[in-house]
Structure 1
């Protein structure tokens, strides 16, 4: 898969989510959501869902977990997705730089 495949999949998933998300909560999740609602007092419970997704996403980016999964499934990283081009495209396929035989720097 490629960067274009990833972009298409994200756009399709975003469209599928729509304006509402209907989910069933298990007992543990319902209890945790109730605790967070009481402690953080959001205007709506949906706000906690948004915050939770932001935190999970940021953690996945910070730990490299997102890059690991993107690399294994699409052969790209999150940075490549953001820039719209692969690392090879950015560097012209020249990374790492070819070793230069520059013996002159050691001559006196």
Structure 2
């Protein structure tokens, strides 16, 4: 897995999304949403957009996004943003792997 796999997964997910998303709400979520709607002028769409932005920001700030990206795609968010892995950035992937078994043989 890598950056290309992450890009393909994002493109696929983006293509499957419609402008509107149907979500089933449990009782707790329904109560929280009702309170937020009352507090923020009843614009449900704006609340969902804010909620997604807040969750995204929180996962970036806490490192949860990097953890899940590393686990699933072997990249970090910074690597995704730059379009290259750390090995590519530092040039570590340009050298051939050493064969330690034969390292000191003449």
Offset of 1:41 from its aligned partner?
1.5
List structure 1 segments (4+ residues) > 2 angstroms apart after TM superposition.
none
CA distance in 2, matches of 1:20, 1:39: 23
2:14 counterpart of 1:11: no
CA distance in 2, matches of 1:5, 1:68: 16
Task: State the match for 1:74 in structure 2.
Answer: 73
2:60 counterpart of 1:61: yes
- Give the aligned length: 93
Task: State the match for 2:96 in structure 1.
Answer: none
SS at match of 2:70: helix
TM-score norm. by structure 2 comes to 0.83
Aligned counterparts, 1:1-108, within 5 A: 1-42=1-42, 44-93=43-92
TM-score norm. by structure 1 comes to 0.82
CA RMSD of aligned residues (A): 1.2
Q: Which runs of 5+ in 1 are unaligned?
A: 95-108
